[in-house]
Amino acid sequence: WHWTDETQRTFEEIIDIASPEVIEMIQAFKKFVGANDMMAYLTMMCIRLLELKRVLKDTGSIYLHCDPTASHYLKIVMDTVFGAANHRNEIIWQRINAKGNVQRKFGAVHDVILAYAKKLGNEKWNQLYRPLNEKYVNNMYTHIEEGTGRRYRLGDLTAPASRASQGQIYDWKGYQSGKSRVWVYAKEKMQELEDAGRIVYSKTGYPNFKRYLDENLGEKLPDIWTDIMPALGGESLGYPTQKPLALLERIIEASSNKGDIVLDPFCGCG
C-alpha cells in the first residue's frame, strides 16, 4: 500500500460517509502517522470495516487478523467503528515456533487476531475447550471409584457469602454455612447429589463434591493459541498470509452455527 491519489479519494470518501467519531479518528491518524504507506493501509482498512459493520448481523462477530506492525492502530480503528464496548478478545496466535535469523531482538513468532461483536450480548458463541494438561490431571484426579474405575477429584461445595441467596444458608450434616461461606447448592439439590453418590465425606464428616474426569469438557480455550501451525504440506498454496484451515475452523465453530453465512472478505484461506 502507498499513499496515492486513489488513497486520498478513499480518505475523502470516509470523511463524507462516516460518523463523526470515525472522521475524527481517521483525521487524527493522518495528522499523527502522516500520508505514508501505513496511513494508506489504515485508510483501506477503515472504509472496508465500515462496510463490514453495515452488512454484519446483530448476532454476528468479526475477527481481524494482523501482525504487531499495525495491530495497535487497527485496534483503535476497530474500537471506533464497532465500539470499544463490543471488543471481545485480542487473541495471540503463535504461528511458528522459532525464528533463526533474528538479531538484536526477540524472535517474532506471533500474530494478532482482534475479535469484536456487532452487538455485545447478542453474538452467537459456542464455548470451545482444549484437553486438560496431563500434569494437572495426574495431580488433581487422584481418586478411583470402586466398581466403575472412574477417576475423580474432590471439590469444594461452598461459595462466597457475598453473592449468596437465602436458599444457600442452611445446616447440612452438622455443618452450618457461615458468614463468609455458604453452600453452593440449595438444600434440595444437595440431597439429590447425596442420593446420587456425588458427595464424599471426610474423616471429620465434611462434605466434598465428587467431580469425575470423564465429565470434564476440558480447559476453556484461552486467548493465546499455540496449537495451530501455518498451512503446511498439501494445504499450502504458497500464499504468504494464507490462514491454516484449523484456524478458520476454530473461529467459525466458536462464533457461528451450521447454516450460518460466513464472509472472508480478504480471502484469507488462500
Cell of 2: 502507498
219-220/158-160 β-pairing: unpaired
Distance, C-alpha 125 to centroid of its chain? 10
CA distances (Å), origin 222, targets 89, 93, 153, 263, 264: 10, 11, 23, 24, 23
- In this predicted structure, the answer to whether residue 236 has a pLDDT above a threshold of 80 is yes
Strand order from edge to edge, sheet including 207-212: 143-144, 151-155, 207-212, 199-201
List C-alpha distances in Å: 84 to 15, 93, 149, 152, 189: 21, 22, 50, 42, 40
Strand pairing class (207-212; 158-160): unpaired
pLDDT tens per residue across span 181-224: 999 999 999 999 999 999 999 999 999 999 999 999 999 999 99
Element (H, E) at 73: helix 71-82
Find out whether 228 and 253 touch, Cβ atoms under 8 Å. Answer: no
Quote the pLDDT of residue 163.
79
pLDDT at 69: 94
Neighbours of 131 (CB within 10 A): 11
The gap from C-alpha 66 to its chain's centroid, in whole angstroms, comes to 16
Residue 77 per-residue DSSP state: H
Confidence of residue 110 (pLDDT cuts 50, 70, 90): very high
* Average pLDDT score over the chain: 94
pLDDT confidence of 241, banded at 50, 70, 90? confident
In this predicted model, what pLDDT tens digit does every residue of 131-185 receive, in sequence order? 999 999 999 999 999 999 999 999 999 999 887 888 899 999 999 887 789 999 9
Instruction: With residue 72 as reference, give the H or E element that holds it.
Output: helix 71-82
Spatial separation of the C-alpha atoms in residues 88 and 75, rounded to whole Å: 12
For residue 102, pLDDT over 90 is answered with no
| Run of H or E including 144 | strand 143-144
Q: What is the pLDDT of residues 3-22, one digit of tens each?
A: 999 999 999 999 999 999 99
Backbone angles phi, psi at 217, to 5 degrees: -75, -15
Q: Which of 91, 90, 88 is nearest to 116 (CA)?
A: 88
Query: Cβ–Cβ contacts within 10 Å for residue 30, how many?
Result: 16
The pair phi, psi for residue 32, each rounded to 5°, is -85, -50
Residue 208, all three cell numbers: 466434598
Percent of the chain with pLDDT over 90: 84
pLDDT computed for residue 148 by the predictor: 95
pLDDT tens for each residue of 54-101? 999 999 999 999 999 999 999 999 999 999 999 999 999 999 888 878
The pLDDT assigned to 200 comes to: 95
Residue 269 has pLDDT above 80, yes or no: no
> Order of strands, edge to edge, in the sheet holding 224-225?
61-66, 110-117, 87-94, 224-225
Query: Does 263 score more than 80 pLDDT?
Result: yes
